[in-house]
Chain A
C-alpha cells in the first residue's frame, strides 16, 4: 500500500463502523417502527459493502480481492433498495410507493444472484494505485444506472416533501436532503474507476457523513426524548475517533514519510509513539470531552431549573395582568432562547383573542376570533399544536399555516384553566438552536402553561375584583355616610342652632327692649359672652367637618408617619360615640399613657378603627359595652376592641375576613369591611386576629410594631 491508498481502506472501515453503530442504535430505539427497521437495513447494506470494501483494499492476494469485491457488491446492490425504502417510510409514502419498492426489491435479488456470476464482476485490473479494481460485467452495466436512478428519485422525493413542509420539519428534511446529496456524491466517486475514468473514490468517507445526518434526522423525527442519548453517543464517537486518529496518524506519518516503505519494526515504533502520546494526552482529551459533554448535555437541565425557578418566583406571582404576560414572554424567550414568542388573551369585552405580549413577532395587532381555525382547534382539543404534529397529520389547513406564519410559532399551547376555559394562547417560535421541541420540553412547558393559565385567570380575577371592590367600596362609603349622618347631623346642626339661637336671642331681646334697663357695659359684656359661645359652637361644627373630610378622603399612597393610637381612636370616637351612646352602648377606653406611636398611615389607621368600632357597635343589638384597650408589650403595640355583642359562631369565624362575607341583612353590608380592614392592617405592617363567643361578644386584636423613635 502506498500513502494515498491508506485513506481508502480507512474510509471503508470508518463507513462500516459508523453504519453498524448508528444502525444498531437507531434500531434499538424502536424495533417495531418501520422507519427504524428500514434505516437499520440500509445501514446493514452499507456495513456489508464497507467491510468487504476495507478487506478488498488491504489484501495482497488476488483471489481474496475478487471474493471481497463480489462481497462488497452484495452489500452495494441492496444499498439503493433499502435507501429508497427508508426514504419512502420516512416521508410516510410507504403505502403509495409499495409497488415500486417491491419492484426494486425484486430487482435487487436478481442483481444479487447475478453477482454470483462473472457477468457482474468480471475480474480485476490495476487502476491508478489500486492493484485489484473490479471490471464491470454486463449486468453491472444495467445495475449501475438503476442505482443512479434510485438515488436521484429518492432525492427528488425528499425535495418534494421539503417544499411542502414548514417549520422544524422543513429543517429536518433539509438535513436529510443535504445528507443525501453529500452521501451519494461521495459514494458515487467509487464508480469512475470501474470504467477507467481516473477519478479515485476520494469522497467515499462522505457516506459516513450521510449516515450520521440521516440517523440524526430520523431520531429527531421519531424519538424526541432520546436527544440526550444521541448527544452522548456522538461525544463517545468523538472520543473513539480521536483515539483512533491518534493511534493511526503518527504511525502512518512515520511509516510513510520518515522511514518510507518499512517493515514490522518501524510500524511497531510508530505504534509505540502513538501509545506514549495517548498515555499523556488521553486524560486531557477525556477531560475536554467530558467538559464538552457536560456543557452540551446538561446545559438544558440547568435551563429548565432556571425556567422553573424564574417562573415560580418571578412570573407567576405577578398579579398585574399586563406585567404577567410581558414577563412570561420575556423570560421564556430568554431562557429557552426563542426567535419569537407571544401570548394571546381573550378580551371579554370584544369577544376575541388579542396578541397582548410578543417578542420577535412583527405584526403587533393580531386579533383572532374564537371561530378562527387555530383558536377553535386549541380550545376544542385543549392540546398543543406543533409543526411536528401537523406534519404527521394529513394536511395542514392553509388558514392555520397562515396564522403560524403571522404568529411565527412552531408550538402553540392553549392556556386552559381548571374550569376548562381558555383565557389565552401561548405561542413559541423556533428555538435559536434550531432544535425541535422535544418531549423534555413538553414535560416542562405543558405544566408551565397550566400554571400560567391559573396565574392569568387569577390576575384577571384580581382586575375584576378590583372593579367590584371599587364598586363595593363606594357602597361601603355610602353605608358609612349612613352610619355617620345621624351623629354628624347632631354634631353640626346642634352647634349651629345654638350659635344662631344666642345671636337671635340677643337681637330680639334688644329689639323687644328687654335690655333697656342694662348699661352699655353690661350689654357689651353680654355680647362678649354670646360671641364666645358662638365661636365655641362654630369651632365644634368645623371640627366635625374637618374630621369627616379627612376621613372620607383616605390618601392613595401609604404615608408612613408616627401615629398616636390614642389620638386616632379619640378622633374616630368623636365621629361615632354620639350615635353609640344613643344606641345605649357604653364606651370604655383603657389606653395606657406609655403606648408608643406606630409607623403607619394615619388615615388608614383611622379607617381601621372606624370599621372595627362600627362593626362592634353593630354587633350590639341592645345595650352593651365597647371596650378599647391599647398596651405596649416589648416592641409592639396591641390594641383590643371588645364588644358585648352577639358574637360570631365558631364555624363562621374563619370566614369573616373573606371578601363579601357578611352576616348582615342584604343591603346593609357589603361584606368588604373586614376584608379591607385586614388588607389595610397588613399594608401598615400589622396583624389582625379575632376571638369570639356566641352570646358573649367578640374581640378584635390588632398588633403593630412600635415606631422606633428617632434619636435627636
Chain B
C-alpha cells in the first residue's frame, strides 16, 4: 500500500459509527475527518476537498442524495461511497449508482478491511 492515502470525509448521524471509522483509518495513516451532522458535512467537504466521501443515506436535515447531488456539481472528482441500512430491494442502490455514486455498501459493513479496499479502489481508480 505504497503511495499517498486518500483523504476521507465521513458523514453519518451515528456518532459511534464514525468514531469507529476514525479509529481504524487514522491509525492506518488516512486523513479522515468526520461529522454526525449532515449539514456540517457540506462545509467539511468544501473545506477538505476529500478524495472519498463516506455517506449515510438517510439523515436528519439533509439526505445523502442531496449531498451526492452537491458533490457532483461542485467536486465531481470526489468518489462517493454510501454505507446505509436502508434497504429497498436494490432500487435505491441502482438509482444512486446511476447518479454517480462509486459504491453502495450495506450496514453493517461486512468488514472494515473490505471498506478499506473499496476506498482504495475508488481512490486509485481516479
A694 proximal to B (CB < 8 A): no
Q: Taking the nearest CB of chain A, how far is it from the CB of B66, in angstroms?
A: 12
Tell me the nearest residue of chain A to B29, going by C-beta: A514
Chain A residue contacts of B14, Cβ below 8 A = 494, 498
Chain A residue contacts of B113, Cβ below 8 A = 504, 508
> Can you list, as one digit per residue, whether each of B44-61 has a CB less than 8 Å from chain A (1) or not (0)?
000000000000001110
Q: Are A505 and B85 in contact (CB under 8 A)?
A: no
A573 and B59 CA atoms in complex are apart in Å by 17
Chain A count of residues within 8 A CB distance of the other chain: 24
Q: Are A508 and B24 in contact (CB under 8 A)?
A: yes
> Can you list, as one digit per residue, whether each of A310-341 has a CB less than 8 Å from chain B (1) or not (0)?
00000000000000000000000000000000
Q: Are B86 and A489 in contact (CB under 8 A)?
A: yes
Q: Are B111 and A497 in contact (CB under 8 A)?
A: no
| Stretch from B15-23, B67-75, B95-103, B117-125 at the A interface | B15-23
Which of B23, B58, B60, B107 contacts A505 (CB under 8 A)?
B23
B87 proximal to A (CB < 8 A): yes
Majority secondary structure, A binding face: helix
Which of B16, B58, B111 contacts A490 (CB under 8 A)?
B58
Which of A497, A514, A584 contacts B109 (CB under 8 A)?
A497
Q: Are B108 and A514 in contact (CB under 8 A)?
A: no
Q: Are A494 and B20 in contact (CB under 8 A)?
A: no
Tell me the nearest residue of chain A to B83, going by C-beta: A497
Q: Are A505 and B112 in contact (CB under 8 A)?
A: yes
Chain A residue contacts of B2, Cβ below 8 A = none
Q: Are A505 and B20 in contact (CB under 8 A)?
A: yes
Q: Are A508 and B17 in contact (CB under 8 A)?
A: no
Q: Are A498 and B85 in contact (CB under 8 A)?
A: no
Number of A-B contacts (CB under 8 A): 66
Q: Are B108 and A500 in contact (CB under 8 A)?
A: yes
Give the interface residue-count category, chain B.
20 to 34
**CB contact under 8 A between A497 and B107, given known A490-B85, A502-B20, A505-B112:** yes
B4 proximal to A (CB < 8 A): no
Chain A residue contacts of B28, Cβ below 8 A = 512, 514
* Chain A 342-381 residues near chain B, CB threshold 8 A: none
Q: Are A493 and B85 in contact (CB under 8 A)?
A: yes
Most buried by A among B16, B17, B106, B109: B16
* Chain B 5-38 residues near chain A, CB threshold 8 A: 14, 16-17, 20-21, 23-24, 27-28
Q: Are B21 and A489 in contact (CB under 8 A)?
A: no
Q: Are A501 and B108 in contact (CB under 8 A)?
A: yes
> Can you list, as one digit per residue, whether each of A522-557 has a CB less than 8 Å from chain B (1) or not (0)?
000000000001001100000000000000000000
A238 and B86 CA atoms in complex are apart in Å by 96
Q: Are B112 and A504 in contact (CB under 8 A)?
A: yes
> Can you list, as one digit per residue, whether each of A480-508 has a CB less than 8 Å from chain B (1) or not (0)?
00000010011001111110111011001
**CB contact under 8 A between A509 and B24, given known A497-B107, A497-B109, A504-B112:** yes
Q: Are A486 and B86 in contact (CB under 8 A)?
A: yes
Tell me the nearest residue of chain A to B108, going by C-beta: A497
Q: Taking the nearest CB of chain A, how far is it from the CB of B103, in angstroms?
A: 16
Chain B residue contacts of A490, Cβ below 8 A = 58, 85-86
Chain B residue contacts of A537, Cβ below 8 A = 16
A514 and B24 CA atoms in complex are apart in Å by 10
Q: Taking the nearest CB of chain A, how far is it from the CB of B91, in angstroms?
A: 14
**CB contact under 8 A between A505 and B108, given known A537-B16, A582-B60:** no
Chain A residue contacts of B23, Cβ below 8 A = 502, 505
A102 proximal to B (CB < 8 A): no
Tell me the nearest residue of chain B to A494, going by C-beta: B14
Q: Are A494 and B107 in contact (CB under 8 A)?
A: yes
> Can you list, as one digit per residue, whether each of A391-419 has a CB less than 8 Å from chain B (1) or not (0)?
00000000000000000000000000000
A536 and B21 CA atoms in complex are apart in Å by 17
**CB contact under 8 A between A533 and B16, given known A504-B112, A508-B112:** yes
- 5 other A-B residue contacts (CB within 8 Å) besides A493-B85, A501-B21: A494-B107, A496-B108, A497-B108, A498-B20, A505-B23
Q: What are 25 A-B residue pairs whose CB atoms fall within 8 Å in the complex?
A: A486-B58, A489-B85, A489-B87, A490-B85, A490-B86, A493-B107, A494-B16, A494-B85, A494-B107, A495-B16, A497-B17, A497-B107, A498-B14, A500-B108, A501-B108, A501-B112, A502-B20, A508-B112, A508-B113, A509-B24, A509-B27, A514-B27, A536-B16, A581-B60, A584-B60
Give the 9 A-B CB pairs with smallest separation, nearest first.
A497-B108, A505-B24, A493-B85, A501-B20, A581-B60, A489-B85, A498-B16, A582-B58, A490-B85
